[in-house]
Amino acid sequence: MKKRVVITGMGAITPIGHNVKETWGNLLKGTNGVGFISRFDASALPVKIAAEVKNYNPEDHFDHKEVKKLDLYTQFAMIAAREAIADSGLAEGNYDPNRAGVITGAGIGGILTFEEECNKCITQGPRRISPFFIPKMIGNIAAAHVSIEHNLKGINFNVMSACASANHALGTALRSIQYGDADLIVCGGTEAAVTPLAVGGFTAMRALSTRNDSPETASRPFDAQRDGFVMSEGSVFLVLEELEHAKKRGAKIYAELAGYGASGDAYHITAPAENGEGSSRAMQAALADAGMKPEDIDYINAHGTSTPLNDKGETQSIKNTFGDYAYKVKINSTKSMVGHMLGAAAAVEAMVCVKSIMNGIIHPTMNLVNPDPDCDLDYTPNVPVEKAVSATLSNSLGFGGHNSAIIIKKYI
């Protein structure tokens, strides 16, 4: 029999909070994290807005020498992982480091370092490239730093599947624990791609909202006037743990990670498969893995990017999977407030699912003012809703046709 896997710790740093409590509280308030880009001069770009982590000073968390060796995406990962591990009560002696791992999700990795060193190479020559360039930039290095800092010697790697990365990381961690390869895995997503090259690149492909005159209303999933997603950054980590291991050390248990499904569209590099059939297969696989029926799900955290194609396609995929029940299940989009955290998006959304189960409340989808006729489900518009939540499903879909779904349910 597959082992049961529970969630025993959570940590976060997002555009609306420097920890889980702040982030969750601001989601319930409808606080928006989008504003004008401050990290670089965006005046030459058609897109001048993003959801940045506010009031962030790296030296509040790392000494000056460490900061020079850590890309921003790694800094965010280490901060969120520290909170998650502390929250879980993990300490020397109550777990085996050789059976404790780290799996991260990052869709882009250290692009800030890449840009800085590339500019240096062009303007000053290749001999001026920093010796820290490669170990700051590579996509797996955040996982490495988390494992080194906390002496986690088990499974250790990064999953990179664009905006589905963190869900794939969580699903891979789930499987690893279920089949006995680890007792616990510190798992999540991290991203820090609000940079000239990344914002410019997404702008060039016309993926981003250009609602510069009203940043707070730019991310508007399922609204008829949506015009693209909003770039974001940050990190969220969860501690996943085998049930008996968690019980033996007296850990508090927040919820159970019960199912995981993944699929590929095999269709297009950026557009979702027609009629949302690819993401439907991921959701169906997650339900089958959890041994659940569509009617068992109380709430869906949608990928909900605020792009014309995604929101329409995801709506259809939910209808494909849930049938008539699609009109009864509660749905929302966390991206309406925190923007799109790319490889970390699924991690913050998993945290939201856990908090919804714990608190019996579903945060709103903000800026949903003029519903798209093709998006006609219950997206919890603009105000939170109190509702007992026993089981949740969270979708994450990535460019290239990477689809993923996880099911988190109340621990009984």
Phi, psi of 105 (to 5 degrees): -120, 125
What's the angle, vertex CA 339, arms to CA 15 and CA 163, rounded to 5? 115
Catalytic residue among 145, 303, 363, 402: 303
Phi, psi of 164 (to 5 degrees): -95, 5
Residue 2 DSSP code: P
The Cα 353–Cα 33 span in angstroms is 19
Catalytic annotation on 303?
Answer: yes
By the 8 A CB rule, do 101 and 73 touch?
A: no
Which helix or strand (DSSP H or E) is residue 69 part of?
Answer: helix 64-69
1: buried, middle or exposed (CB in 10 Å: 19+, 13-18, 0-12)? exposed
Give the closest residue to 173 by CA, choosing from 246, 255, 103: 103
Catalytic residue among 18, 168, 245, 340: 340
The Cα 67–Cα 50 span in angstroms is 23
Catalytic annotation on 245?
Answer: no
Catalytic residue among 18, 145, 163, 187: 163
Catalytic annotation on 163?
Answer: yes
Which residues have a catalytic role annotated? 163, 303, 340
